Amino acid sequence: MKLLKIVTQRDSIETGKPGVQDDWMDDCAWSTLACAINHLTDSTLATKQALVIGESVGRHDRDGFPDPTSLAQLVAGAKKAGIVGRYAKSWDDVLKAMSAGAVIGINVEQAKNYPPVRMSDWHRKHQIRKPGKTYGHMTCASQHERGAQWADPTMSGKGNESYAVPLSLAELKQIASSKGDAPHKRCLIFTTKPVVAPTKPVAPKKVAVKVNTLLSQIRKSVTRNV
């Protein structure tokens, strides 16, 4: 069983606005996409690199402003990175895909009606500052011997927050239902491209080749923007 490694968004905290207690952290979607890419292709993208993918599909990040990301932009970003992102058709579709190795992107209202799962240190401190306050958030999950493992990018990616939290499928469904609609409605299914038998003999290609090329381009872009 492959553990789902956290890609933290906490290395992408923005300056925020004067008088606002919490600095902005609005890059959870791109941390989640990086987490999916890394898990599926053995890459090592960080959030700042994934933000370059976001820019390429129309999500422009402004310092100090809560810039949203749409599910459609994540699907487009997945394509840019050489993987496949699609909308889930049903909760059964989610479970079948996850059991086959997919990473499931889950848009949630954190932590509304959550089961008693382990939350990040950042979230616990946030609740001390703003008791009961919920927030729109993007997370992901993959299969685990317990049922699933759930990755929240507000985790640090270090120490006991290095990897996703194991939970049951019932607990994952409860988290996926936190927006108040059917649990699959805000889920994306991320996979590698399906292998199609060629009509003519060709040299084998791997998703990792495209991802490595993308990583090289991203590193150059990040270097130019530092």
Longest dimension (CA), the chain: 64
How many Cβ atoms sit within 10 Å of the Cβ of residue 89? Answer: 13
- List the domains of the chain with CATH numbers: 28-225 (3.90.70.10)
pLDDT beneath 70, residues of the chain:
15-24, 195-226
Whether 10 and 25 have beta carbons less than 8 Å apart is answered as yes
Burial of 71 (0-12, 13-18, 19+ CB in 10 A): middle
pLDDT value, residue 15:
67
pLDDT value, residue 160:
97
pLDDT value, residue 226:
43
* pTM for the whole structure: 0.85
Q: Which two tokens stand for residue 27?
A: 């890059």
